[in-house]
Chains A and B, each alone.
Chain A
Amino acid sequence: MKKRKIAMLISAAVCASVLLTACGGGSADSPDKTAQGAAESPSNEQAAAGEVAEGYKDTLVVAAYGDQDSMDPQTNVKNDKMLRLVYNSLLTHDEGSGIIGDLAERWEASEDNMTWTFYLKKGVKFHNGKELTAKDVKASYDRLLDKENPVRYTETMDFIDHCDIVDDYTVNLVMSRLYGAVEASLCLHANMIMDADYIEQYGHDIGIDVNTINGTGPYKLLSWDQDEQMTFEANPEYFGGKVETPNLIVQVIPEASARTLAIETGQVDIVDRPQTEDVPRLMETEGLVVDMKPGYGMHGFQFKCSPDSICSDTRIRQAISYALDRHAIIDALYAPIGETCATSALSEECFGYTNLGVIERDVEKAKRLMAEAGYPDGFSISLMTYNGYNKGVEMAEIIKAQLAEVGIEVEIDNVESATFTASLSGLTPEEFKWDMFIMGMGSQTLDADEGLRRLYVTDDSGVNTNNYGFYSNAEVDRLLEAAAAEMDQEKRHKLYDEACRILYIDDPVAVFMNNRNGIYVLTDKVEGFQQKVGSGGAYLEKVRVRQ
């Protein structure tokens, strides 16, 4: 009797285990709970959504390093690559830094540059079949610009006052001030156009699950198991042309070596961001291709410039900058992925960039500057780093060794992500305890305004919510404010040249280290793959995979 009881218990446990395992990957959102593998064919129903050329796979599988935090374009902050498959904005970047119409057929600015008129493409359909009209554009901008109920990007876009409907296919964006980077800023994902009916129905719950998402992009999101997997089907009525592969699966694999293994074992077709150390081997691996392209991002270490830090003295910041051998650092850490030394306070892809050259190591100059600042025998600084940036800790260690050679002692504080993010908002100089801190720089709009003004103009609030290192330089303030309001793009560029020279060399805000690359690994069966600079994503709708 007792034996039977034990046997029954064990049998129940085995059955439970098998059942649970079988449904482990499923969710309420997932229509295909019995999927046997990411790379296997989807259901017939899904395949029917698009035509696939003979000899090509009907499903593309991509390994991503992280998931979207939200599929609401106005809330998303961490990863917008998949948003761009689902939604469109009025304007967008081409594969480089040029600006082209996306939902807008053409656009023009009024003589005083205070009203921008956008003529929408006709016949653009949302995924539910509804046609996109000016009403949807207005509803999206009304939600974005609502100061009473601000969303993440309300302040970013505050150069727009409101949106007016002219007719069904024409809208006016009325500016609140003269702004020189209107077009570039409209490429930010916060400007993606959502369905007015969905905005009314779901309000701030848009993007929470697939039922609340209705876009016009090349792919429709079918299911979303956050931090696990997204499945898409092609939008047969996509206004941008034929979507090459009818089904797309994006699999989230946070561990870099596991992502690499996934493509080596044939479980995925494309990997976003392999592990740096793996890249040389992957380049040599038969059947794999590594695709690298300069992006908009940079890495560096910013200075704390408030009076309580030794780095408030320009000469100290310059001394640190000259004491570092950037070539050695970049060669040691980023050579496998082809990243290069920074040559300005902006990346090469940004409007406003001018090549100011790599700051070469000059130990004598560094020591002279230290002596002038009153520290001929050296000094100590604290440096905060964070491994969320590729090789952030290793970079800090090399900096420590190089600075020690000129008598600067560095105390490294390696923090985790929450401490890092919390340190960059609302702290007073007394609360912010590091003299240098790691930072990712760059401008998603590919315009200097986003990359410089928000971060480096003097902030009188006394806390570091945007100007993380309390940097203040009256000339930089003047130049950046003037450039923001300047409509003549040549003049703007000159203003940024001057500002970058100060921020990079004369009164450095940071040690700018390396220009970052977008890196993907593809199987050699993948065709039509092309990265975008602006979002760091890729045109997955143009990709097809040979069987």
Chain B
Amino acid sequence: MIKFIGKRVLQMIPMLLILTAVVFFMIHLIPGDPVTMALGQGAGKSVIEAERVRLGLDQPLYVQYAKFLGNLLHGDLGKSISTHKPVMQEILRRYPATLALAVGSTLVSTVFGVVFGIVAAVCHGKAADNILMVTSLISISTPAFFLAIILTLVFSLYLGWFPSIGLKSPIYAVLPVMTLGTQEIGYVTRITRSAMLDVINQDYIRTSRARGVSEAVIVFGHAFKNAMIPVMTAVGLRFGSLLAGATLTETVFAIPGIGRLTVDAVLKRDYPLIQGTILVLAVTFVVVNTIVDILYTVADPRIKAE
């Protein structure tokens, strides 16, 4: 297991190197200058020039990249051009909120999605299956922004059950997690259902039934155990997209998360901040998928973590 994790870490190094290079050179291709963005309209020419020199943006790109890598080796992601604060500090401040939302909505969606998916598969072709499939389609197709506003109106304005602004305690997470989780439930339901259907029609299930094994043991003990791998893969991948893709939800609920930070950084052309957020998101993504790989071995002992 340790060997496997070590291998994944080593694999990560060239991947991150390539990623940083691609991101670094690509952000310089987008029109827009971070210095004029940070100094705003009407900044004098001398101060623009002085700021460019101070930030090292007057140097050739390869020199800037080499410096970035050098600092990275020391764990220094540089300073944000727009907020003048260390990038690492900015990311660490926002990371917990994003991670909390991603973990919360993944848990909610996995629990509900798996249950709904199993029910749909077991009731294949019946009314329950149809209702669940239509509902999951609606949940996938509902834009997060729209859902967030509707949930806020209902649960915050009319019922007054949950606060809608910020993320100060677990109760604040209810509406954003519901927003993000609703879409995810739809995905997980559909994936679980199709994985279950693949398994449920196989010979060994039929044999178990013929042997008089109870339906509950067949569904949960035999079928679902084998259907878990594709579900875990999907949940792992979706977790990555929840980290970076929750921008709209974060905006509506005024939660300062990584998604908003990344979008703001791009809009401000804040090069160090863009680099930093993408790097951290990539590392998280790899870590989560490594955990999923390890979980495979738990779900299916035939797979060895090697």
Contacts and interface: CB of A to CB of B under 8 A. Distances in A.
A38 B166 contact: yes
A424 B99 CA distance: 38
B254 A253 contact: yes
B303 interface: no
A150 B46 contact: yes
Contacts of A36: 168-169
B38 interface: yes
B37 A28 contact: no
B37 A418 contact: yes
Interface stretch (B6-14, B62-70, B157-165, B184-192): B157-165
B170 interface: yes
Given A20-B100, A36-B169, A264-B157, A255 B251 contact: yes
A21 B166 contact: no
B256 A6 contact: no
B104 interface: yes
Contacts of B93: 27-28, 225-226
A24 B165 contact: no
Interface string B35-59: 0111111111111101000000000
A2 B103 CA distance: 22
A531 B251 CA distance: 27
Interface string B162-198: 0111111110110000000000000000000000000
B47 A150 contact: yes
B267 interface: yes
A178 interface: no
A252 B166 CA distance: 9
A24 B99 CA distance: 9
A354 interface: no
A155 B84 CA distance: 21
B166 A229 contact: yes
B280 to A, nearest CB: 15
Contact of B43 (A228, A252, A419, A425): A425
Interface stretch (A10-18, A90-98, A130-138): A10-18
Contacts of A24: 96-97, 100, 167-168, 172-173, 255
B254 A258 contact: yes
A20 B99 contact: yes
Interface stretch (B16-24, B126-134, B135-143, B148-156): B148-156
Nearest to B225: A2
Interface string A430-469: 0000000000000000000000001100000100011000
A277 B44 CA distance: 37
Contacts of B100: 17, 20-21, 24
Given A6-B298, A20-B103, A21-B100, A425 B44 contact: no
Given A267-B164, A421-B36, A226 B85 contact: yes
Given A24-B173, A251-B254, A424-B41, A262 B50 contact: no
A21 B173 contact: yes
Given A20-B100, A421-B40, A426-B36, A228 B256 contact: yes
Contacts of A425: 33, 36, 41, 43, 48
B83 A226 contact: yes
Interface string A38-72: 10000000000000000000000001000001101
Interface of A is mostly: loop
Q: Which of B97, B169, B268 gathers the greatest number of chain A CB atoms within 10 Å?
A: B169
B107 A149 contact: no
Nearest to A9: B295
Q: Which of A227, A419, A421, A426 gathers the greatest number of chain B CB atoms within 10 Å?
A: A421
Interface string A399-440: 000000000000000001111011011100000000000000
Nearest to A14: B107
B167 A21 contact: yes
Contact of A20 (B36, B40, B96, B298): B96
B82 interface: yes
A261 B32 contact: no
A151 interface: yes
B305 to A, nearest CB: 13
Contacts of B38: 69, 77
A254 interface: yes
B75 interface: no
Contacts of B90: 226
Given A77-B39, A265-B160, A156 B168 contact: no
Nearest to B89: A28
A70 B165 contact: no
A464 B223 CA distance: 68
A69 B157 contact: no
A21 B152 contact: no
A25 B44 CA distance: 37
A286 B17 CA distance: 58
B32 A418 contact: yes
Nearest to B155: A265
Q: Which of B107, B167, B260 gathers the greatest number of chain A CB atoms within 10 Å?
A: B167
Contacts of B287: none
A207 B48 CA distance: 20
A229 B165 CA distance: 11
Contact of A17 (B37, B104, B301): B104
B218 interface: no
A10 B235 CA distance: 14
A426 B156 CA distance: 48
B252 interface: yes
B163 to A, nearest CB: 6
A22 B97 CA distance: 9
A166 interface: no
Given A150-B46, A425-B33, 12 more contacts: A13-B107, A28-B93, A37-B169, A152-B47, A208-B84, A227-B264, A251-B254, A258-B164, A261-B152, A261-B157, A418-B37, A418-B267
Closest 6 pairs (CB-CB, A-B): A155-B44, A77-B40, A418-B32, A20-B100, A24-B97, A21-B100
12 contacts: A38-B166, A69-B82, A77-B38, A208-B85, A226-B85, A227-B261, A252-B256, A258-B251, A258-B254, A268-B165, A424-B41, A454-B42
